[in-house]
Structure 1
Amino acid sequence: MSGSFFLRKRLNTLFFCALVLALTIIAIIITEYDVVKGFTSVPKAAEWAVSNFVPNEKAMDKLPDIIDKLLETLLVSIAATSTAAVFALVFAVLGSQKTGIGGPFSMISRWIATVFRNIDVAAWSMILLFSFGQNVLTGYLALFFCSFGFLTRAFMESIDEMSMSSVEALRATGAGYIHIVAHSVIPSSLPQLISWVLFTIETNIRQATLIGILTGTGIGFLFNLYYKSLNYASASLAVIAIVVAIMIIESVSNYVRRVIM
């Protein structure tokens, strides 16, 4: 019995590998992609990056401007995530299968979360550009809408996975819905909720760079400006600043997760 199970599993794995390989070959044929040229161009690209995409003394003069724009990007990302988390918690409580009030409210909450979550942050940026133009508000709202959809779904799953013992105990004492949510649901799932918020902040800092290119704000705007003006040294310094900031935020986030979990 076990032998046939492993054989069937191995055949399924081979089938999916063959399917992926076939799709890759079909995609190469349709797009007329030159695989050999693609691989042979990697050394030349690396050589160009080493010789051109490196900060120099003139680039260091741009460091104050880069840090200023980087802080703007970080603050917008944190503000958008924090605000979205508040709204997401309300919709998650209403839409949760364990704590939702049921009826159309639960369905509407889940539908709104699905819509907002499935629209990419770049798409949000381009949609909002028509209404708000190239400014910080556009980037903030794009991050807010995307974070709201993701966090609502994540919060719902966290609440649905919590133990119902404390909820049932409060219901037995005659506690109301708001009292149960405030004194049982949120405290029980708070570590998971905070973990999701920290993860979203990390993600938004990465995405804010792309948003900055589209909206003309933040560190993304500076990188785009330096790159298009062929100031590769300053552009590389902006990239290094982004990487360092993300690594610091991720380290702090991981530490907080270890403490609260």
Structure 2
Amino acid sequence: MQADFFAKKRRNSIGFFAILAAITVGAIIITEYDIVKGFESLPRAVTWALGNFYPTQESLVKLPDILSSLIETLLVSIAATSIGAVFALFFALMGSNTTRVNAFFGSISRAIATLFRNIDVAAWALILLFSFGQSSLTGYFALFFGSFGFLTRAFVETIDEVSGGSVEALRATGANYASIIFQSVIPSSVPQMLSWVLFMIETNIRSATLIGLLTGSGIGFTFNLYYKSLNYDIASLVVVTIIISILLIESISNYVRRVIL
């Protein structure tokens, strides 16, 4: 019986990889991608980067301006995530099977979260450009909508996973809805929710670089400005500051997770 189970699992795995390989080959044929030429270009790209794309002593003069743009990007990312988390918590409480008021509001909350989650932040930025133009506000709302959709889904799963038993116990004692939320759901879910918020901040900082290219703001715009003007030494300095900031934020985030979880 066990041998049949593993054999079936192995056949399913082989079938999956066969389908994936077929899709890959089909995509290569349709797009007319030259694999050999692609791999041959890698050494030339690395050689060019090593010879041109590196910070110089002269580029350090622009470091204060780069740091100013970086700080703007970090603050927008944190603000969008934090406010998105507040709205996500409300919709998660309405959409969770454990805490929803009724099935109708639960379905509406989940549908809204699904809509916002499945539209990429870059797509949100393009949509919002028509309303707000190229500005930090456009980037903020793009990150906010993306954060709201993702965190609502994450919070719903967290509430359903960690709060089910305690909620049933409080309901059995006759506790009202507010007591259930503030005495059971939120206290038991906060550590995991904070972990999701920290993860979203990391993600938004990475996404904000791309968003800045579209919205003409933040560190993404700074990189695009110097790269298009062929100031590769300054553009590379922008990349270095982005990498350092992401690694620093990730280290802080991992430390906080170890403390709260």
State TM-score, norm by structure 2: 0.97
Q: Gaps spanning 5+ residues in structure 1: where?
A: none
Aligned to 2:146: 146
Alpha-carbon shift at residue 240 of structure 1 (Å): 0.7
Amino acid at match of 2:201: I
Deviations 1:17-60 (CA, angstroms, capped at 9, x unpaired)? 22222222221111111111111111110000001110011211
Change in Cα spacing, 1:5 to 1:167, as seen in structure 2 (3 Å) is: closer
Aligned to 2:119: 119
Residues 92, 109 of structure 2: 8 Å contact kept: yes
Amino acid at match of 1:205: I
Alpha-carbon shift at residue 195 of structure 1 (Å): 0.4
Aligned to 1:70: 70
Alpha-carbon shift at residue 8 of structure 1 (Å): 2.2
Aligned to 1:8: 8
- Where do 1:1-261 residues align within 5 Å? 1-261=1-261
Amino acid at match of 1:22: A
Q: Gaps spanning 5+ residues in structure 2: where?
A: none
Amino acid at match of 1:129: L
Q: Please tell me the root mean square deviation across aligned C-alpha atoms, in Å.
A: 1.1
Alpha-carbon shift at residue 9 of structure 1 (Å): 2.0
Alpha-carbon separation, structure 2, partners of 1:182 and 1:4: 50
Alpha-carbon shift at residue 173 of structure 1 (Å): 3.6
Alpha-carbon separation, structure 2, partners of 1:163 and 1:171: 12
Residues 163, 189 of structure 2: 8 Å contact kept: no
Amino acid at match of 1:175: A
Alpha-carbon shift at residue 10 of structure 1 (Å): 1.9
Amino acid at match of 1:216: G
Alpha-carbon separation, structure 1, partners of 2:19 and 2:34: 21
Q: 2:150 aligns to what SS in structure 1?
A: helix
Residues 162, 189 of structure 2: 8 Å contact kept: yes
Residues 98, 163 of structure 2: 8 Å contact kept: no
Alpha-carbon shift at residue 7 of structure 1 (Å): 2.2
Identical positions, percent: 66
Once structures 1 and 2 are overlaid, which stretch shifts more, 150-159 or 172-181? 172-181
Amino acid at match of 2:56: N
Alpha-carbon separation, structure 1, partners of 2:59 and 2:70: 16
Amino acid at match of 1:100: R
Once structures 1 and 2 are overlaid, which stretch shifts more, 29-38 or 60-69? 29-38
Alpha-carbon separation, structure 2, partners of 1:151 and 1:8: 36
Once structures 1 and 2 are overlaid, which stretch shifts more, 104-113 or 171-180? 171-180
Q: 1:61 aligns to what SS in structure 2?
A: helix
Alpha-carbon separation, structure 1, partners of 2:242 and 2:33: 32
Alpha-carbon shift at residue 96 of structure 1 (Å): 0.4
Once structures 1 and 2 are overlaid, which stretch shifts more, 212-221 or 170-179? 170-179
Count of residue correspondences = 261
Alpha-carbon separation, structure 2, partners of 1:78 and 1:186: 21
